[in-house]
Amino acid sequence: MYRGVCNQWFLLLLLVGPMFVFSAEPLGQEQVTNLGEVLSKTQINDFDITIFPDGRNLPLGEGSVSKGREIYQNQCALCHGKEGIEGPAARLVGSDGWFSFSDPFRILRIDKYPILLISVGGLWPHATSIFDYVRRAMPHYAPKSLNNEQVYAITAYILYLNNLVGEKTILNKKTILDVAMPGNERSISAWPEVAKPNL
Amino acid sequence: MKSKNIQYVADGGLLDRRAFFRGSAAFTAAMLAAPRVMSSPDVSKAKIGESHPTWMKIPGTNDMPYGLPSRYEKHVQRHLAEGAPETSLFSVWHSPIENQRGIITPSGLHFSVNHNGVPEIDPQKHELMIHGLVEKPLKFDMESLLRYPQVSNIYFLECAGNTASNAVSLNALDQNCQELFGQVSGSEWTGIPLKYLLQEAGLKSNAKWVIAEGADGGSHARSIPVEKLLDDAIIAIYQNGERLRPSQGYPMRLFVPGWEGNANVKWLHRLEVTDQPAFTKDESGLYSDILDNGKIQRFSFHMDVKSVITHPSGKQALPEKKGFYEISGLAWSGYGKIKKVEVSADGGKTWAEAQLDANVLPKSLTRFSIPWQWDGQPASLLSRATDEFGRVQPTRDVWRDKYASYSFNHYNAIQAWSVSRHGLVENSYV
């Protein structure tokens, strides 16, 4: 097709032309710098700690309620209370609200620790979130010191305190997905915001 | 006794918001007319200095490399809230907004909440990772990030739990503005628009959420819809002209304008692009609203329109009776600009429009003021803000109707300060 058009200027245009086409801004995007380094799979795996409600990223391993009781009493009870209700740290057990038959003294504690109005057992929609949070942040004074089996065990014990699993339960990446959290069916999402910002 | 020359715009002594401007010409003329009086017979032997204060007769002290406020302003400090568990590491620091003027909270006075203490991060070792549903997973060090284009805006930041005690307490607690409203502040935030980085990584077509995670001990994490990140969210690196303080997220934080403080993840180190929210600890529990029908509302990100009178405010005493005061306060909306602020001095029976200070910016603190002549009778001072979208603050009763009695987040009802005939200002419910 280019026979007879071997003009040197045409050839120059042919070489140089594409540079202008491909460096022009793509439609709808801004020119950006490219200073990010490629992130390796190994590195991602080391930091990929988020557990999703569908079970994604849950590790292998298992933990029992009885093992969880042992760890809880040694490492968790001092902040969360022997029964997971007294505080001073976040309430793990029972319903949310001012009153509870399981904790008749709640209303006296709330004055000092207002966040005890809500509880993990009452509000959290997914058991996977308990695993996720305990593993990344607990105990408060030594985060990320528990191994995966210990985290399964503590999660099992917290669920047991809330009467959400039986005493003989072994929690692992499969059985944790079977737990029905009371907060789940009460949940609605305010996102996306329909018809906002206008009233 | 009302003067014939004063324009009252509402009951309770509220004056036209331009009343101070009109009076100034007469005031200046009066000052110039007063004659100077000389005394002292033997001027040649006289020395000046007898009446001068000490600091005008001695040389001053050295300045310092990083300036600090006067020691006479030492009382202006952040205040650590009681009620956070003693085992804390869950700390809530309130800003003394009743001492603040203008719309910028100095960085050292900016409110701050942390759930696992303030980490000490070496910026040379800190990296930002972007992975998940992206074409190219990437990491950035600080040196690279600092080369990206940065934008600056003045924004407010507010905790979802600001003013929580007025939401749940049966009685209006006798607290000051710092305790009741101190979890809001305003700053200039400077950083890289998220869209530059997300476009570099290349979002896949099913990318809907991003889990933003911090490098603190508790790896604080929140799920953010990708639309917000592509909208006005930035990786904030500077606050009020200098690098972020550790308390505010050094070396960088996610800043999502108009959204609750908890979602503005500090010490940001990882953005995991996904198709679903992770239901992290905070979006599972503490940062949800329980509605009056028992439903648990999640992902209520926006901080809605709100205002508070800071001058005068709780636990203050007006210095004298029957004087002019300038009522002043702050208004803000997580949706955009403030359109107007109305003030009432009679508990909400009559209202007048306040003056908005020149800088009315979207998703920023806005300063309002209105002159007031107090007649020494009990008064009840309220402010009611309306934003550019017609969103207006509800009364406390209307707000309470919507939520369960123990739900405390996103409380934006009209605030009332009662003024006794002795000039004592108190928190009150109207």
Task: Give the span between the Cα atoms of B45 and A79, in whole angstroms.
Answer: 76
Strand bridging mode A187-189 / B296-298? parallel
Q: Let me know: does B280 contact B211? Beta carbons within 8 Å.
A: yes
pLDDT score of B30: 46
pLDDT score of B172: 96
Chain B nearest CA to A14, separation (Å) = 29
Strand partners, B291: B403
CB contact under 8 A, B131 and A143: no
* Closest among B211, B214, B213, B210 to B226, alpha carbons compared: B210
pTM of the model: 0.90
Q: Average pLDDT for residues A107-130, to the nearest whole number?
A: 87
Task: Give the span between the Cα atoms of B417 and B383, in whole angstroms.
Answer: 10
Q: Average pLDDT for residues A5-33, to the nearest whole number?
A: 55
pLDDT score of B62: 94
CB contact under 8 A, B272 and A114: no
Best of B279, B339, B363 to disrupt the A interface (most A CBs within 10 Å) is B279
ipTM of this model?
A: 0.91
Task: Give the span between the Cα atoms of B272 and B211, in whole angstroms.
Answer: 5
Least confident of A83-87, B258-262, B348-352: A83-87
Interface of A with B in 76-115 (CB under 8 A): 78-79, 87-90, 96-98, 112-115
pLDDT band, very low/low/confident/very high, at A1 (cuts 50, 70, 90):
very low
- Dihedral sign of CA atoms B78, B84, B86, B90 in order: negative
pLDDT score of B5: 63
pLDDT score of B216: 97
* Closest among B224, B227, B223 to B280, alpha carbons compared: B223
Using a CB–CB cutoff of 8 Å, tell me whether A32 touches chain B.
yes
pLDDT score of A115: 80
CB contact under 8 A, B138 and A37: yes
pLDDT band, very low/low/confident/very high, at B185 (cuts 50, 70, 90):
very high
The DSSP-derived string for A40-59 is PHHHHHHH--PPPTT-TTPP
CB contact under 8 A, B295 and A186: yes
Amino acid at A115: I
pLDDT of residue A166 exceeding 50, the answer is: yes
Q: Let me know: does A188 contact B298? Beta carbons within 8 Å.
A: yes
Using a CB–CB cutoff of 8 Å, tell me whether A29 touches chain B.
yes
pLDDT of residue B138 exceeding 90, the answer is: yes
Share of chain B above pLDDT 90, in %: 84
CB contact under 8 A, B284 and A183: yes
Q: Let me know: does B331 contact B369? Beta carbons within 8 Å.
A: no
Phi, psi (rounded to 5 degrees) for A34: -125, 65
Phi, psi (rounded to 5 degrees) for B340: -155, 160
Task: Give the span between the Cα atoms of B282 and A129, in whole angstroms.
Answer: 10
CB contact under 8 A, B278 and A29: no
pLDDT score of B32: 52
| Cα B318-B166-B186 angle, rounded to 5 deg | 70
Nearest to B129 among A47, A113, A143 (CB): A47
Least confident of A109-113, B77-81, B235-239, B372-376: A109-113
Chain A nearest CA to B196, separation (Å) = 6
The DSSP-derived string for B60-103 is -----SS----GGGTT---EEPBTB-TT-S-EEEE--GGG--SS
Q: Average pLDDT for residues B119-138, to the nearest whole number?
A: 97
